[in-house]
Chains A and B, each alone.
Chain A
Amino acid sequence: MPDKVDSPLKDERVTIYSRDTNFGLPTLKAVWFSLREIWFYRWLIWVNFKKDFVGQYKRSSVAVLWTVVMPIIPLTAYLFLAFIRALNVTSGLPYPVFIISGMTIWLILSEGITSAMGAVNKERSVLTKVKIPLITVIIAGYGKVCANTLIRIPFLVLVFIIFKIVPPPVTLLFPFVLLPIIILGLGFGIIFGMLGAMTQDAENAVAVMMRYGMFLCSVIFVMPTDGLMGTLNRLNFFNHLVVGLRDFLVHGSFSDPFGFIAASAISVLIFIIALRWNYSLEYLVREAL
């Protein structure tokens, strides 16, 4: 972010552009400037979010239905397998509750990354001609994911009611407990959004990771706790986030609080790294668009 100097100008900024611009900034300063940029352009983010979100619902008369049903459709096969007892589900939860709650949480991450990549692609013409920060475009795209999550929550409540799951009142804090996975999704969204502008490989890699990642993160199955897989699962912070959030949603508590806190800390770290990269290197993305 530019320094301020005494000046009679309407806008008192003095900006120096060189190859070193923003490159050598300390991480925390870059993060702080990045957050200030987000704050400065908050209205643009809101306007862009609203434009996309309203557009999505204007173009379809049953958009809410698609938002809820589309992610569930691939799960019907697993629901069927569970129904005929071909799947061993030992979470203690009715399988539809397990899988739909897991998927609602997972989508924050996976849709977040893909929507960030999509937003950079969609706004490429604007980004190369108008000086708006890349991150505003990514956050606006990510906002749609958060809004879609809010739309899915009543459906989740309905599933809970059907299966007579009564969470404790503390579960009302669930949207706040979602914060770590939201910033993780945003952090990865920024990183892959930047990479995706440079190479199609990033998009393909994300598609594969998200498709198979959910099998390793207790979205579809309960992951083993013993042996080598158990050790690997304990190191898988995505798994801790999904399991922790599902625990909180159903029981109002965490079965492995340390795991959830560690995963949250890693999420914050990834978000900080993403902000730093974005602030220092976003011009490379613009030049490649």
Chain B
Amino acid sequence: MTNGHGGNDALVEINGVSKKFSKSLRDARRYGLKKLVAGAFGVRDEWNTLRPGQFWAVDDVSFTVEKGETLGIIGRNGAGKSTILKMINGLYLPDKGEITVKGSVGALIELGAGFHPLLTGRENIYIKGAMFGKRKREVDELFDQIVEFADLGDFIDSPVGTYSSGMYIRLGFAVAIYNDPDIMLVDEILAVGDYKFKQKCFSKINELKRKTAFVFVSHSMLDITRFCDRVVVLDRGKLAYLGSPVEGVKFYLDEVENREIKERGLLSDDGSVVRSFFGELFSNNDKITDVNHRWVTAEGKPADSIKHNDTLILEFSFRLLYKPHRIVIGVPIWDEQGNYITSVNSDVCNAEVKVDNDGWVKGRMTIEHIVFNPGVYASVISIVDSKEMIYRQVVGSFRIQEIPFYFGFVTIQADWDFA
């Protein structure tokens, strides 16, 4: 095994790859037709420049994926994640650069792609096998294992059009994995499966990791940090980060997600309101200024990564430009999948927010024992005067480090007594 940067074990090498698309289907077809007609007569169209209405969906991206490695790709919608997968799979060709793929590729790019809804699960197993280039005899040999893994019971003889999305993915994943590809591309779809099946898939991925390279697109930061060896962060088609999953997720949340929110805010009508999974963000600049806030550890260092059950502190300061009635500060927290975990609120904690004569508020909110389970968490600080919202912005993210065992959202200490 080499260091993951183009060594001998690299099954996928992506070198300076760019791909352009048209914003409208009409343009895409018009340009495609021109290329088709020109290409038919051996004339290469000018492919290196953008035409009106085109944009770079992937722009000068380079990375490798090695045998035995699971590479995660994260990025906002439209960042180019699926386009990269489709280029590795050979569905799209790069407009610039080169992709070298060593071995066979299995791809789960969309739920149920390639399944015929009127045919049974059994029949579709053979059709999907044929799509992987297998013969009937070869599918016969794999059939029982596929059916067992998919765990569809009697539904295997029902038309797949009657399947739930979970059943679709079980069958799709089982067929793809048992066709034994050297490189497996998985695009988000595992998010659809139930928890048990997802664990089964990841267990299978771990089993196959020794000989197979996985490229894994996901919006679940938890899955990325748990199962990937490295992560690529794509930002508007460009490679913004390549490295460890923990750092990559942090980079994504801090740099990409937060920047996107701020930029979208600047573009809004009143210059401050934005929407995201954090909800509405807002700042009344006539009433509040000089706002600072950050998560720190007990030692006062930035809380990028802290241990479970450690102390977590939110430091904040701001200046009010008017005389407030009654300030309340709230801090809602979400996990990386957007689950609303909890909210800490000064009012609920019976804490009075003190405002000095100059309107300054400086304070700390201390969580003695952060009981959240491992993962990356995002938070917002909202400052309310009576019922009037004057400020609501993203604080940033913090990560809770791994612990051996955990369930659900939080892990709490409990004393056990026995008679």
**Chain A residues engaging chain B, CB cutoff 8 angstroms:** 7, 9-19, 21, 23, 40-41, 43-44, 47-48, 51, 55, 125-126, 128-132, 194-195, 198-199, 277, 280-281, 283-288
Contact = CB atoms under 8 A, between A and B. Distances in A.
Name the 5 nearest CB pairs between A and B, nearest first: A11-B104, A44-B130, A129-B113, A288-B32, A198-B33
B36 A18 contact: no
Given A47-B126, A287-B32, A19 B90 contact: no
B353 interface: no
A280 B96 contact: no
Contacts of A125: 113
9 contacts: A11-B182, A14-B102, A21-B93, A44-B130, A44-B133, A47-B130, A199-B29, A283-B91, A287-B32
B36 A15 contact: no
Contact of A55 (B97, B118, B131, B211): B118
Contacts of B110: 129
A275 to B, nearest CB: 12
Interface residues of B, number: 50
Given A15-B100, A41-B133, A284-B32, 7 more contacts: A9-B11, A10-B182, A11-B103, A15-B90, A19-B94, A129-B91, A130-B109
A277 B42 CA distance: 9
B28 A18 contact: no
B40 interface: yes
Chain A CB count within 10 A is highest, among B11, B28, B35, B36, for B36
B131 A44 contact: yes
Nearest to B25: A288
B123 to A, nearest CB: 8
A129 B29 contact: no
Given A11-B182, A40-B133, A131-B91, A17 B36 contact: no
B116 interface: yes
A18 B123 CA distance: 35
Given A19-B95, A286-B91, A287-B28, A126 B39 contact: no
A242 B102 CA distance: 48
B60 interface: no
Given A10-B182, A126-B114, A198 B32 contact: yes
A198 B103 contact: no
B226 interface: no
A283 B136 contact: no
A130 B107 contact: yes
Contact of B40 (A51, A55, A277): A277
B98 interface: yes
B94 A18 contact: yes
B89 interface: yes
A277 B38 CA distance: 11
B47 interface: yes
Given A129-B109, A277-B40, A17 B87 contact: yes
